[in-house]
Amino acid sequence: MTIVTELTDSLIIAKKEFKILSRKKALLIPLILFPIIMIVFFGYGMGGTVKEAPILIINDDTGRASSSLVQEIGSYTAKYDGSPMFSVTYTKDMSQSEAESKIDAGMYKGVLIIPPDYSDNVAKNENMTLTLLTDSSDVTTSSVIINFMRQLLAKAGSITLNVPNIYGNLEYLDFLIPGVIALTVFMGSVATTGSAIAGEKEDGTLVRMLMTPVSKRSVILGKTIYQLILQLGRAVILILAAYFLLGFNMNGSWLLVSLVLVIFTLGGVGMGIVMSTMVEDMESFFQLNMLVTMPAMFVTGVFFPLSSVPDWMRYIAYCLPLTYAIDAMRTIMIKGQGLNAVSTDLIILSLFAIITFTAGVHLFRREA
């Protein structure tokens, strides 16, 4: 059995997988659309922009600078549609603790406190610090408010923003998209690999395949080639959709993103193979799949930052490979960092791929 025949065999198998996939219309559509829907749904529904968020401005200053600041905040219009981003209420002489209690009560998403000497300081161009309180239970809105205030105050003068409970200065979508891509690739590679094998077990075609001269290695290689093409294709579609639909900008290297996704897909394929060896049919595979991918989806910080979850949850997240894939994707795609910044993630993901793949090949016996 030469390498050339093994490769030819695996390409025959990869081609067969694509042909069958192209006929599973009911699978094909969600496979492509699901992540896009997820981004649009979460992106618009939960974040990305903020519409008429109630904020309170405690203005203890009477000068011109503060009133122009206040006006600018009130009239700011979100880039997605016509409604103003904030609905502003004004007051003065309110203590910080009283303001906090109003946020606790859910009356405001944010409170900006302008001190009495604001206009004077702006005029003298002196350094100063404003306090911005936000409802950090609503990570999306508070992050948008913080982000917006930062930009606005940077224009007004040398003003530092003191944000108790700081979460970050990202827009939610920027945060969401790399995570959704990693999640999509993970769920996709595990589920399509595993269910295809489980289905072939059910149909008897797997055993039939293993009776041919084709080696077990070629069968696995063929399925892997197919998955790599499929998952990378989905990631590209997702990034393009995010770019055209939501104005998402990719800051980092495509090559590096591909590298992360290739390694992670290998891990996912290995995992799918391992899981498929534990079941005899599709139905049981999907039950098992639920058990494995659902927690990963909610624990690993696709939808919220790990810094905002309780310790125990964070420790679980650190045990899941998806966490490192998400971290690597964010580091590359948003922060625009290079190989050094993601080397630890890559090492962990490679280990994951090696372990699951070795186990998968081992378990995927002739007797499968």
Partner 1 sequence: MEPIIEVRNLVKRFHSRGREITAVNDVSFDVFKGEIFGMIGPNGAGKSTTFSVLTTLLKPTKGSVKVAGFDVEKEDDRIRPIIGIVPQKLSLYPLLTARENLELMGNLYNVPKKIMEERIDYYLKLVGLEASADRFTGGFSGGMKQRLSVISAVIHDPEILFWDEPSTGLDPQTRNVIWKLAKKFNGEGKTLIFTTHYMEEADNLCDRVAVMDLGKMVALDDPERLKENTGSTNLEEVFVHFTGAEVRD
Tell me the closest approach of the beta carbon of residue 8 to partner 1, in angstroms.
Answer: 8
Task: Report the 10 Å Cβ neighbour count for 3.
Answer: 7
Nearer to partner 1, 26 or 105 (CB): 26
CB of 233 to partner 1, least distance (A): 20
- Give the relative orientation of helices 25-46 and 216-246 as an angle to the nearest 10 degrees: 40
The nearest distance, CB 347 to partner 1, in angstroms, is: 37
The distance of closest approach from Cβ of residue 6 to partner 1 in the complex, given in angstroms and rounded to an integer, is 12
Residue 304 CA to residue 309 CA, distance in Å, equals 8
Cα 277 from Cα 201, distance rounded (Å): 10
Q: Which spans of this chain sit near partner 1 (rule: CB under 8 A)?
A: 1, 5, 9, 12, 16, 19-20, 23-24, 203-205, 207-215, 366-367
Question: Which is closer to partner 1, CB of 20 or CB of 65?
Answer: 20
Residue 138: name the closest of 101, 156, 165 by CA.
Answer: 165
The answer to whether 224 and 269 are in contact (CB under 8 A) is yes
- In three-state form (DSSP H/G/I as H, E/B as E, the rest C), the secondary structure along the chain is CCHHHHHHHHHHHHHHHHHHHHHCHHHHHHHHHHHHHHHHHHHHHHCCCCCCEEEEEEECCCCHHHHHHHHHHHHCECCCCCCECEEEEEECCCCHHHHHHHHHCCCCCEEEEECCCHHHHHHHCCCEEEEEEECCCCHHHHHHHHHHHHHHHHHHCCEEEECCCCCCCCCHHHHHHHHHHHHHHHHHHHHHHHHHHHHHHHHCHHHHHHHCCCCHHHHHHHHHHHHHHHHHHHHHHHHHHHHHHHCCCCCCCHHHHHHHHHHHHHHHHHHHHHHHHCCCCHHHHHHHHHHHHHHHHHHCCCCCCHHHCCHHHHHHHHHCHHHHHHHHHHHHHCCCCCHHHHHHHHHHHHHHHHHHHHHHHHHCCCCC
Nearer to partner 1, 92 or 208 (CB): 208
CB nearer partner 1, residue 5 or residue 83: 5
Residues 140 and 263 sit within 8 Å (Cβ to Cβ):
no
